[in-house]
Amino acid sequence: MNELQGMSDPKPMATDTTPPQRFRRPSPLLWVVVPVFLVLLIQGVLVMEITPTRLASGAVNLMHFIGRAFPPYLSDLDVIGWAMLETLYIALVGVTAGVVLSVPFAFLAARNTAPHVSVRVVTRFLIAAMRTIPDLVWALIFVVSVGLGPLAGVLAIVMDTIGFAARFFSERIEEVHPGPSEALTSTGAGRLSVIGGAIMPETLASMTATSLFSVEKALRSAVTLGLVGAGGIGVELAAAMRLFNYDEALTIILAILICVLGFEQLSSAIRKRVI
Amino acid sequence: MSAIRVSELHKSFGDLHVLRGIELEIRSGEFVVLLGANGCGKSTLIRCLNGLAQPDRGAVEVDGLDIGRARGRSLSRARRQIGVVFQHFNLVPNVSVFQNVLYGALGQQPGGLARTLPAFAPGNLRNRAMACLERVGLAEHASQDCRRLSGGQQQRVAIARTLLQDPQVLVADEPVASLDPRAGRAVMELLVEIVRERGMTVLCSLHQLELASEYGDRVVGMKAGRIELDSGRNPVGKSAMAALYQGVVRVDDALPEDRTHAVAQSA
């Protein structure tokens, strides 16, 4: 009965009718955070010697680059086209493998589906590690382990995709309504059947949208991965810049722009239909 | 023979001692209505009967199976014999009505999930699922998304799911509480018809006192985690039922209006 007695009528309290103050007193934490931020900011500008003269000469050099880049060099379009296609392959293969692997990672990392809390902690740590190590660093690591070329790029994108997609998948899984899972459990269904029968249908649309985002993200990173030798159009771009073939570099940059923009449009159109 | 036997059942959630020594026996084929105010432990008792909640102390036996102590596979096997109807229907969104009914066989199909998907389910299971849908009057809605149905229809789909499961015992947790009075009565009538046809043993919690005396073979009342009222085979007076709610419902309580009203009227 105790908890029921605790529910008896609360006595009306005398209320303060003056409105709250217009400005809240800043917290003591702010007195520390703001000065530290300002000191670091000013010191950063000084240490990096960011001066108006350097910025001005940079602008002049940029003009020089643009002047030499125009008109874009269009004779090697076939080479550039193939390299672009390779970039697309790296992104697609990497994301597909990454998304497929993300699903089990996500279920092991979500609070409501992890078989044990220790599994959840370890999986979450792995996912966080894959996410926080940048894709370029993964590419450097895989270039060392599997050699130069697109395979290193694919593996780097797999890691990056798991870090991104598994996190969002698991957050979505944790938001699932417990009711349907409970109903399936009550019929005597096993854990995997409940996951496949109740949780997957509710999360599938969101997972598809996240996967499409992953492809967009991967396409952008597949471009830069070539800069460290992991295959794709980045290799061509790095070579063109190093050889001062700025007109060819411009063609490559335009090709990247068109492909990435085009894919983003396509992907957002699909996402709108899925959600 | 008792289909449900609960003895000395205790269950706490943190500091909250929800069930405080429940003793209850329900004979095979009996339709027992469980009454009691919000928070008195009805749902927890019902969840303990399917193993969705595990008792801290005491025994829960359903059809001779020790649900309270069963774990893993033996618990899954036991659950097949105990259907559950929930207040909020608990249908799976984004799949068809037909698929939701097929899920009732999820615990029985050896192939697991794949054998209950419409594309891979064996023909006889598909036919049985369709017959269950027909029994609740929703055959023509088979391929619809269940969220397009009204509340009453969704609860019928949930009942069809339980029908396919074909349990000996059915526990229902306020099956009509989220429906309007007319839909609620229709669902209640369907549920009673079906369990009578199949000779199921039922424990059904309700808030509507008039439905309780109308449909229950026996009315059991809970208050503060204990059984306070058991009508046995005798009809039970409204004042005895209303007493279960006394001292619990406050004027400013956030209860839906109809419930507060019903209690105030009968008090």
Contacts of B34 (CB under 8 A, 6+ apart): B42, B45, B46, B203, B204, B205, B206, B220, B221, B222
Q: How many CA atoms lie within 13 A of A44 on its CB side?
A: 6
- Rounded CA separation B187/B137 (Å): 11
- Rounded CA separation A221/A88 (Å): 11
Q: Is A188 close to B80, i.e. CB distance below 8 A? A: yes
The string of pLDDT tens digits covering residues A217-248 is 898 888 888 888 888 888 888 888 888 888 88
Give the predicted TM-score (pTM) of the model. 0.78
pLDDT of residue B261: 43
Residues paired with residue B60 on neighbouring β-strands, in sequence order: B6
On the question of pLDDT at A6 being above 50, the answer is: no
Instruction: Choose among A4, A188, A201: nearest Cβ to B95.
Output: A201
Q: Which residue of A has its CA nearest to B79?
A: A188
Residue B183 φ/ψ, nearest 5 degrees: -60, -35
Q: Which residue of A has its CA nearest to B113?
A: A193
Give the residue from B133, B138, B91 showing the smallest Cα distance to A197.
B91
Residue type at A184 in one-letter notation: L
Q: Which residue of B has its CA nearest to A178?
A: B90
Q: Is B224 close to A4, i.e. CB distance below 8 A? A: yes
The string of pLDDT tens digits covering residues A124-142 is 999 999 999 998 899 899 9
Q: Is A188 close to B78, i.e. CB distance below 8 A? A: yes
Instruction: Choose among A1, A187, A202: nearest Cβ to B103.
Output: A187
pLDDT of residue A232: 81
Q: For residue A263, give how far its alpha carbon lies from the nearest alpha carbon of chain B (Å).
A: 28
Residue A51, classified by CB atoms within 10 Å of its CB into exposed (0-12), middle (13-18) or buried (19+), is exposed
pLDDT band at B22 (very low <50, low <70, confident <90, very high): very high
On the question of pLDDT at B85 being above 50, the answer is: yes
- Rounded CA separation A252/A260 (Å): 12
Q: For residue A1, give how far its alpha carbon lies from the nearest alpha carbon of chain B (Å).
A: 6
- Rounded CA separation B233/A148 (Å): 83
Place of tokens 């999986």: A123
The string of pLDDT tens digits covering residues B146-188 is 889 999 999 999 999 999 999 999 999 999 998 998 999 999 9
Residues of A in contact with B16 (CB under 8 A): 3
Q: For residue A177, give how far its alpha carbon lies from the nearest alpha carbon of chain B (Å).
A: 9
Q: Is B52 close to A185, i.e. CB distance below 8 A? A: yes
Question: Please, which residues 183-222 of chain A have a Cβ atom closer than 8 Å to chain B?
Answer: 183-190, 192-193, 196-198, 201-202, 204-205
Is the reported ipTM for this assembly greater than 0.90? no
Question: Tokens for A64?
Answer: 């020089």
Q: For residue B65, give how far its alpha carbon lies from the nearest alpha carbon of chain A (Å).
A: 14
- Beta strands across the sheet bearing B218-223: B82-85, B169-173, B201-205, B31-35, B218-223, B226-230
pLDDT of residue B109: 66
The string of pLDDT tens digits covering residues A165-179 is 999 999 999 999 999
Residues of B in contact with A193 (CB under 8 A): 106, 112-113, 116
Instruction: Choose among A7, A189, A201: nearest Cβ to B106.
Output: A189
- Rounded CA separation B258/A51 (Å): 74
pLDDT of residue B253: 42
**What is the rounded average pLDDT for all residues in chain A?**
87
| Structure-model confidence comparison of residues A94 and A149, the more confident one | A94
Residues of B in contact with A6 (CB under 8 A): none
Q: How many CA atoms lie within 13 A of A88 on its CB side?
A: 15
Look at residue A49 and give its three-state secondary structure.
coil
Strands (E), A25-73: none
Residues of A in contact with B52 (CB under 8 A): 182, 185-186
Contacts of A95 (CB under 8 A, 6+ apart): A157, A161, A211, A214, A215, A218
pLDDT of residue B175: 93
Residues of B in contact with A115 (CB under 8 A): none
pLDDT of residue B248: 57
Q: Which residue of B has its CA nearest to A8?
A: B250
Q: Is A180 close to B90, i.e. CB distance below 8 A? A: yes
Residue B64, classified by CB atoms within 10 Å of its CB into exposed (0-12), middle (13-18) or buried (19+), is exposed
Q: For residue B216, give how far its alpha carbon lies from the nearest alpha carbon of chain A (Å).
A: 24
